[in-house]
Chain A
């Protein structure tokens, strides 16, 4: 159980492109979803937390207009990296949690490369 699917797994695109990443909980309803970024050999960095039907809560230093998060249903959250630049290249991972006292389960991650 507790499967989280993330798509796409790999994106390579030109600078200035907007990229949309989907995160789905396949066998449970995710009241809360999280978006992380991880640079090579570094730890996970929480970008934002989203609760279904509410606006996402962004961590300090994360631009909400740059990283648009939508959590319109209990099984789907999307992250859109708008006008991506090379410095946005990273490994983006979502996670989802069904109930507030349960552990998070992670998606497969999306490796984003901006040329």
Chain B
């Protein structure tokens, strides 16, 4: 089983749609969680951290369920510019603070 698993997609949605991405992780000791986005042929960029109580940044909402070892990202009112690959990132805050990147979920938003 992979340490961080994501549905690879692609998700094809129209502009204005709401889309949700899921991610599961295997290490129950993981303490920090992030979502990054990566545009085609570009470097990953931090989108948002994920907090236990859930957090929102504009159209983006991240949720964490520690019991189920599950993280989600919800994008409301999708824009064409949201088209990218979304990477779920999990970090173990012990020892070397090992960071594991998911393989990513591809999103295409179409007009």
Contacts and interface: CB of A to CB of B under 8 A. Distances in A.
Interface of A: 6, 34, 42-44, 46, 49, 57, 91, 93, 95, 100-101, 103-109, 111
A100 B104 contact: no
B42 interface: yes
B49 A103 contact: yes
Interface string B35-50: 0000001111110010
Contacts of B44: 44, 93, 95, 106
Interface in B36-83: 41-46, 49
B77 to A, nearest CB: 26
A104 B46 CA distance: 8
A31 to B, nearest CB: 11
Interface residues of B, number: 19
Contacts of A46: 99, 101
B102 to A, nearest CB: 7
Contacts of B101: 43-44, 46
Contact of B43 (A43, A57, A108): A108
A100 B103 CA distance: 23
A46 to B, nearest CB: 8
B103 A42 contact: yes
B32 interface: yes
Nearest to B34: A103
A106 to B, nearest CB: 4
Nearest to B45: A106
12 contacts: A34-B99, A43-B101, A44-B44, A44-B101, A93-B43, A93-B44, A101-B32, A103-B46, A104-B46, A106-B43, A108-B43, A109-B42
A100 B94 CA distance: 10
Nearest to A34: B99
B93 interface: yes
Contacts of B99: 34, 46, 104
Contacts of A91: 41
A42 B41 CA distance: 11
